[in-house]
Amino acid sequence: MEHPAADTAPPSENIASPPQSGEEELSNGRDALAARLFETRRHSLVLAEPLSAEDMVVQAFDDASPTKWHLAHVTWFFENFILKPHLAGYRVFDEAFNYCFNSYYESLGPRHPRPKRGLLTRPASERVFAYRSYVDKALQRLLSSDVSNGEIEQLIEIGINHEQQHQELLLTDILALFAANPLRPAYHAKPFAIDLAEPEPLTWTEYPGGIVGIGHTAEGYCWDNERPGHDALVQPFKLANRLATNAEWLAFMEDGGYSTPALWLADGWSTVNREGWESPLYWEKSTDGGWSQMSLQGLLPVAPAEPVTHVSYYEADAFARWAGKRLPTEFEWEASARAHSAEAEKSSGVLRPQRSETSTLKGPKQLFGQVWQWTASAYLPYPGYRPPAGAIGEYNGKFMVGQHVLRGSSCVTPPGHSRATYRNFFYPHQRWQFLGLRLAAEAE
């Protein structure tokens, strides 16, 4: 959509350009950090650009959030964690926003229920854009000051990464919304060809196992759940060279995968029957008997060689059992990613997963930038983990129960937001995110 002009939306020059008179230079070596911050803030608005005001307010289901809420929440994060405690004289934009746009920070007060975020028709989108502009200008004042405070820079780094997470969720939630629309609208309708060729053969890379280093120990940003670095014992294993494909998933379906209870965990089988699952999320039977899948590029034929996506942990586990294999542990996945650094930690830059291309690269491909990959590992703290003090400690630690770890990154993960140690996590029944899998097995 076109963002409102004048004082309701942050003009692009206020985001991407250097500060004006009185703010000629960002002090204390913060130039690069400030540039990344405001580029991240600008990119969120770019992602919202194709959407109408109506698109931005609707919530597809309880786990998803409206675009307008995402844009306001990430702004609320900067206001509450950075500006209120660290910018002298800062005045809150609107006291009511703390209730409307808090997500799950219990220590920061009550909040609007997550399943009812789509009822927030007010504040209007124009006021949310004005909120973003107001907070951006305050962040610029803070970064232009001569106050040296490492805590501020650390919090801004967290805020950048937090907003990048919500950029991915924004696209994921828009897909969920458009998939529920009978018109099947496309978020991005640029013409392109569908590759109906078969996938390349599945091969394996063997690893000897042993004591492997796990977790983030290098310089650079990471979430608290990626630390502390520690050693883990990994038995000899092998890992598939590519992700599981739509063609393989169709074979699983045709062989009765969704109707064979012996393939499923008990909770998974209960979920399949309760929800009536017969295919991955967003798959639809075509009039010619084939299958189509809703994507951010609209309703498209299922491409055999593309990675299967939008499958739950329960489905991934059942598929692996049907294939006579298993899911890798998160330690096996990380050990493989570390051993094959030639596989770039990148975003694919497209809006749906892409097929694996034949190459001379040794070891697994598609580690990053296609789909988040389910692992067999429960989401638990590393040995010696302690959550950060204060409200920021609610970000990861309190969710370490009942969920499973995913590794890699997806086709809608922002560039620069993936690494070998990144630990994503979802409940085993969830599948609206870009979730897929890679097979593993014991070494022979």
204-442 under CATH 3.20.20.70, yes or no: no
Residue 7 has pLDDT above 50, yes or no: no
- At residue 17, the pLDDT reads 31
Q: Where in the chain is the domain with CATH 3.90.1580.10?
A: 204-442
6-179 under CATH 1.20.120, yes or no: yes
- 341 versus 390: the higher-pLDDT residue is 390
**Using one digit for the tens of pLDDT, what is the confidence trace for 68-88?**
999 999 999 999 999 999 999
Residue 255 structure tokens: 């062989």
**Using one digit for the tens of pLDDT, what is the confidence trace for 348-403?**
567 999 999 877 677 899 999 999 999 999 999 999 999 999 888 888 999 999 99
Q: Which of 80, 188, 67, 182 lies closest to 128, judged by CA?
A: 67
Q: Where in the chain is the domain with CATH 1.20.120?
A: 6-179
* pTM recorded for the entire structure: 0.92
Residue 6 has pLDDT above 50, yes or no: no
Per-residue confidence band for 286, with pLDDT thresholds at 50, 70 and 90 = confident
State what percent of residues in the chain have pLDDT above 90. 81
The least confident of 13-27, 330-344, 393-407 is 13-27
- At residue 178, the pLDDT reads 98
Nearest-angstrom CA–CA distance, 222 and 37:
16
Amino acid at 99: Y
Residue 353 structure tokens: 């997963």
Which residues share a beta bridge with 426?
404
User: How does DSSP assign 250-293, residue by residue?
Assistant: HHHHHTTGGG-GGGS-HHHHHHHHHHT--SSTTEEE-TTS-EEE
Residue 347 CA to its chain's centroid (Å): 11
- At residue 3, the pLDDT reads 37
Residue 170 CA to its chain's centroid (Å): 9
Residue pair 108/393 in contact by the 8 Å Cβ criterion: no
Residue 12 has pLDDT above 50, yes or no: no
* Integer angstrom CA distances of residue 35 from 18, 31, 303: 9, 6, 39
Amino acid at 131: Y
**Using one digit for the tens of pLDDT, what is the confidence trace for 103-112?**
999 999 999 9
Residue 30 has pLDDT above 90, yes or no: no
- At residue 149, the pLDDT reads 77
**Using one digit for the tens of pLDDT, what is the confidence trace for 128-158?**
999 999 999 999 999 998 766 789 999 999 9
Name the pairing type of β-strands 298-301 and 372-378: unpaired
**Using one digit for the tens of pLDDT, what is the confidence trace for 191-235?**
677 888 899 999 999 999 999 999 999 999 999 999 999 999 999
* Integer angstrom CA distances of residue 176 from 46, 316, 405: 19, 20, 22
Reduce the DSSP state of residue 205 to 3 states and report it.
strand
Length of the chain measured in residues:
444
Name the pairing type of β-strands 298-301 and 204-207: unpaired
- At residue 347, the pLDDT reads 55
Residue 278 has pLDDT above 70, yes or no: yes
